[in-house]
């Protein structure tokens, strides 16, 4: 594991221990209030994930967690703080299990997106470098009566864009590995399997799994940006197809992005894919 990732986890664990020590001095009302705020925030965070990627079973589980949250919150509102603190523990436990599953799903989808660009990207890095066999043709005067084009006009931009492609590919796989490093961390897995976990243990784990998802979102975006570069010549036709002006295309209208990855592009922007699909359908009517 990279030194920075290990340091990050160790610091987080130390903070967790410190928070746990401090929490013992908190009043029941403060504990309950902190539980309420934490779980409400995480349920909001999870909503976009659920909307975009949940199976029917996962949607049902999310609804059950919301019901648990409602019950615990009602106890908090009624100032039954000890009872609500206990019930919020159940909410956090169920949230942890769900976020753990989604963090694994995100890593799989991230690898698929990056891998889908990898072969073509490396071909470009090799063929369109300054030292490649094609390089001299970029500067050589072209005589249409005598010469044969060594490359397609639509691919000329690769000579300039290859460094961006290389950077996106490198950063994408690095972010994916960062996510894996967090998930596979021994200290984190120790807490995950610990029998006598506390509220703070659960909160630390939930936050780390959300970090995994955020790393994956960044990594997926790098892969999506590569897809957009690979089909840069299509942008005018896409704008004409949907009647869109300007150089910026929202993911749902950007057909440079493979259809199966548009949900990821929307998710990266905290957009709900089903709503975006409805916008697309309305524009096409």
19-32 pLDDT per residue, tens: 554 555 688 999 99
- Please report the pLDDT score of residue 143 as a whole number: 45
Two tokens, residue 194: 């610990």
> What is the C-alpha to C-alpha distance for residues 152 and 154, in angstroms, rounded to an integer?
5
Gap between the Cα atoms of 166 and 175, Å rounded = 14
Rounded to 10 degrees, the C-alpha dihedral 272/274/279/284 comes to: 150
Q: How far apart are CA 273 and CA 251, in angstroms?
A: 10
Residue 149, sorted as left (phi over 0), alpha (psi -120 to 50) or beta, turns out to be beta
CB 273 within 8 A of CB 266: yes
What 3-state class would DSSP assign to 128? coil
d(CA 127, CA 227): 18
4 token code pair = 């920075």
The per-residue pLDDT for range 232-271, each reduced to its tens digit, is 888 989 999 998 887 678 999 999 999 999 999 999 999 9
What is this structure's pTM? 0.83
Q: Which residue has the tokens 């036709």?
A: 237
* Both structure tokens of 120: 């073509």
Task: Give the pLDDT score at 285.
Answer: 72
The answer to whether 166 and 120 are in contact (CB under 8 A) is: no
* Element spanning 272, H or E: none
Count the Cβ atoms, other than its own, within 10 Å of residue 57: 8
Of 85, 74, 56, the closest CA to residue 202 belongs to 85
Q: How many Å apart are CA 91 and CA 38, to the nearest integer?
A: 10
- Alpha helix segments (H runs only) across the chain: 3-23, 28-53, 56-77, 81-127, 135-139, 158-183, 186-193, 199-230, 235-242, 262-268, 273-284
What mean pLDDT is predicted for residues 144-173? 73
The arithmetic mean of pLDDT across residues 165-187, rounded, is 96
Instruction: Round to whole Å and give the CA distance between 110 and 92.
Output: 26
Which pLDDT score, from 0 to 100, does residue 1 have? 43
CB 137 within 8 A of CB 153: no
Contact 48, 263 (CB under 8 A): no
What pLDDT is stored for residue 196 in this prediction?
Answer: 93
């Amino acid at each position: 594991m990279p030194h920075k990732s290990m340091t990050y986890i160790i610091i987080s664990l130390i903070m967790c221990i410190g928070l746990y020590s401090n929490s013992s001095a908190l009043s029941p009302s403060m504990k309950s209030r902190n539980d309420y705020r934490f779980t409400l925030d995480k349920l909001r965070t999870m909503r976009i994930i659920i909307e975009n990627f949940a199976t029917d079973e996962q949607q049902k589980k999310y609804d059950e967690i919301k019901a648990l949250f409602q019950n615990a919150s009602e106890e908090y509102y009624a100032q039954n703080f000890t009872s609500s603190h206990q019930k919020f523990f159940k909410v956090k436990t169920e949230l942890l299990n769900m976020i753990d599953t989604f963090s694994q799903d995100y890593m799989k989808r991230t690898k698929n997106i990056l891998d889908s660009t990898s072969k073509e990207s490396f071909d470009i890095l090799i063929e369109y470098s300054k030292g490649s066999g094609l390089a001299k043709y970029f500067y050589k005067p072209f005589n249409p009566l005598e010469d044969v084009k060594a490359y397609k006009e639509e691919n000329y931009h690769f000579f300039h864009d290859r460094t961006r492609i290389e950077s996106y590919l490198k950063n994408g796989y690095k972010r994916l590995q960062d996510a894996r490093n967090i998930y596979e961390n021994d200290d984190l897995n120790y807490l995950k399997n610990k029998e006598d976990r506390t509220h703070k243990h659960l909160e630390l784990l939930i936050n780390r799994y959300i970090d995994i998802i955020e790393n994956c979102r960044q990594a997926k975006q790098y892969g999506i940006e590569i897809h957009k570069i690979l089909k840069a010549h299509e942008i005018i036709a896409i704008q004409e197809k949907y009647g869109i002006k300007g150089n910026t295309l929202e993911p749902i209208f950007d057909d440079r992005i493979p259809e199966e990855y548009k949900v990821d592009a929307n998710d990266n922007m905290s957009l709900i894919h089903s709503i975006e699909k409805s916008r697309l359908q309305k524009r096409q009517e």
